[in-house]
């Protein structure tokens, strides 16, 4: 049943989470007991308990909405190695329900938000609008509409009461992260909490997102294989965002496509999320299955620009310096870059372990031979990162925002490539920005021709 408002009662929402958390804790205790001795039957029973815990986790994060739900969406895209390999497909399938958003609210409630923000009746703003949403995301839902000039648009509208509900969730965040810890021990929930708190203000500001979206649409207008829908600036407000409507297939429908198609999509994702920002300085930090649509002509549309960073020449130069040092296996050079950023003290004993972690995160990108991405790599990356952060020697590690956003993006991107089972010689793509080499793939040549004279890779560190 659709509700008219996302209720913000902290006590009620806390009670719901507390009950679910208690049930999960009991299941996990049972699972640990069942797995003692390592018998196949015990492991299978323990796995079933973990699947039930995953279903409970989905229920909580879907109900929380907002940035907290993004944590659940991240879990759906990234394999953290939480369950035995044989149960992993079922586990990811349960979490994948978060990729498609939450339960929508009533169209009557949505109409009030639109009319209040645009300052006019719905029929004045739109010639027609479908009361059934085409998507229900973490803090808002999307409706297809037609403008009076005949233009088909997507209208993204914040849920009424969502700001208050999110503030309540911020108070309840400790409970939700305790629930997450119950099925994913060792995850750095403190870092997750910080990210949620930092993002919440920006996430609620659709005018800011519209500005980010407009910049990306301008950078990719006319691109041969990437589509960023145009933005209707005059109709964007704090809680309403209007963009061109794009109709395409969802990510999940591509998972059984022929290998060549999946490999091509993988290269497009790498080019958009990694190569692009190093050229046009606009970093979209949310590689998520729900943020892509696949068009019949082979192009890929990218949506949602709430988690966004503008990069300067110095930011990019430092990212390149650290990546080149990682590629060369030069631990001292990598430590020097990180120390210059103020992220670590200049302690030579930190060089080797820090390089090892960077190689775990970026090593796939530096493979000289064709490499099929394995989604389980993200589990190893998460374990390594959490282990490093738990080491007293790295207690003061503070990566700059652009490095943190990039690492998060890489982990999510690997999750997408792993689900696609995409294969590529990824260094062939990375060489374009890492060493300014000429492109060697068909997509690379098409993109280089498109960006020629518009955005060149500028790789020097500017003082």
Chain segment 280-318, per-residue pLDDT in tens: 999 887 888 888 999 999 999 999 898 788 888 888 888
Q: Which of 315-324, 402-411, 422-431 has the highest mean pLDDT?
A: 422-431
Predicted local confidence at residue 289, as pLDDT: 85
**Per-residue pLDDT tens over the stretch 93-126:** 666 555 555 568 899 999 999 999 999 999 999 9
Measure CA 130 to chain center.
Answer: 28
Q: What is the DSSP letter of 376?
A: T
Length of the chain measured in residues: 463
Confidence of residue 35 (pLDDT cuts 50, 70, 90): low
Q: Which helix (H) or strand (E) holds 241?
A: strand 240-244
Predicted local confidence at residue 114, as pLDDT: 97
**Per-residue pLDDT tens over the stretch 56-95:** 666 666 555 555 555 555 555 555 555 555 656 666 666 6
Q: Mention every residue, 6+ apart, whose C-beta is less than 8 A from residue 463.
A: 314
The residue-averaged pLDDT of 334-342 equals 87
Confidence of residue 136 (pLDDT cuts 50, 70, 90): confident
Q: What is the mean pLDDT of the chain?
A: 79
**Closest to 178 in 3D by CA, of 78, 77, 71, 98:** 71
The residue-averaged pLDDT of 145-165 equals 91
Predicted confidence (pLDDT) at residue 24 exceeds the cutoff of 70? no
CB 155 within 8 A of CB 141: no
Looking at 65-118, list the stretches that DSSP marks H as alpha helix, in order from N- to C-terminal side. 66-77, 88-95, 107-118
CB 144 within 8 A of CB 110: no
User: Phi then psi for 394, rounded to 5 degrees?
Assistant: -110, 20
Predicted local confidence at residue 367, as pLDDT: 87
Confidence of residue 358 (pLDDT cuts 50, 70, 90): confident
Confidence of residue 463 (pLDDT cuts 50, 70, 90): very low
pTM for the whole structure? 0.78
The residue-averaged pLDDT of 206-217 equals 95
The residue-averaged pLDDT of 367-372 equals 92
């Amino acid at each position: 049943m659709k509700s008219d408002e996302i209720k913000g009662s902290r006590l009620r929402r806390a009670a719901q989470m507390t009950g679910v958390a208690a049930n999960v804790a009991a299941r996990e205790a049972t699972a640990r007991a069942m797995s003692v001795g390592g018998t196949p039957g015990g492991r299978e029973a323990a796995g079933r308990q973990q699947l039930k815990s995953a279903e409970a986790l989905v229920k909580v994060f879907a109900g929380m909405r907002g940035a907290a739900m993004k944590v659940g969406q991240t879990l759906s895209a990234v394999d953290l190695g939480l369950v035995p390999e044989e149960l992993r497909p079922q586990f990811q399938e349960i979490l994948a329900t978060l990729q498609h958003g939450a339960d929508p609210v009533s169209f009557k409630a949505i109409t009030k938000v639109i009319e209040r923000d645009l300052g006019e009746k719905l029929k004045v703003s739109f010639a027609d609008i479908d009361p059934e949403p085409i998507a229900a995301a973490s803090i808002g839902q999307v409706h297809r509409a037609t403008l009076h000039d005949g233009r088909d648009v997507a209208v993204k509208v914040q849920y009424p009461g969502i700001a208050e509900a999110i503030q309540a969730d911020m108070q309840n965040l400790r409970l939700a992260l305790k629930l997450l810890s119950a099925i994913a021990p060792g995850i750095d929930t403190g870092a997750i909490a910080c990210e949620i708190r930092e993002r919440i203000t920006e996430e609620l500001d659709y005018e800011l997102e519209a500005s980010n979206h407009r910049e990306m649409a301008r950078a990719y207008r006319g691109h041969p294989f990437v589509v960023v829908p145009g933005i209707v600036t005059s109709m964007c407000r704090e809680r309403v965002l209007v963009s061109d409507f794009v109709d395409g297939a969802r990510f999940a429908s591509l998972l059984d496509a022929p290998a060549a198609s999946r490999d091509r999509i993988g290269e497009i994702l790498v080019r958009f999320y990694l190569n692009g920002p190093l050229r046009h300085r606009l970093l979209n930090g949310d590689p998520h299955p729900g943020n892509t649509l696949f068009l019949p002509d082979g192009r890929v549309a990218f949506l949602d620009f709430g988690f966004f960073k503008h990069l300067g020449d110095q930011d990019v130069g430092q990212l390149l310096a650290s990546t080149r040092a990682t590629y060369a296996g030069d631990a001292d050079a990598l430590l020097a870059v990180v120390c210059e950023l103020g992220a670590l003290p200049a302690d030579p004993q930190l060089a080797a372990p820090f390089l090892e972690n960077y190689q775990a995160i970026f090593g796939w990108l530096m493979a000289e031979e064709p490499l099929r991405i394995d989604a389980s790599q993200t589990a190893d990356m998460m374990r390594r990162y959490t282990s490093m952060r738990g080491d007293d020697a790295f207690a003061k590690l503070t990566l700059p925002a652009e490095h943190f956003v990039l690492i998060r993006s890489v982990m999510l991107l690997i999750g997408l490539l792993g689900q696609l089972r995409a294969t590529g010689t990824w260094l062939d793509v990375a060489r374009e920005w890492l060493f300014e080499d000429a492109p060697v793939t068909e997509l690379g040549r098409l993109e280089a021709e498109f960006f020629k004279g518009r955005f060149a890779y500028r790789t020097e560190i500017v003082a």
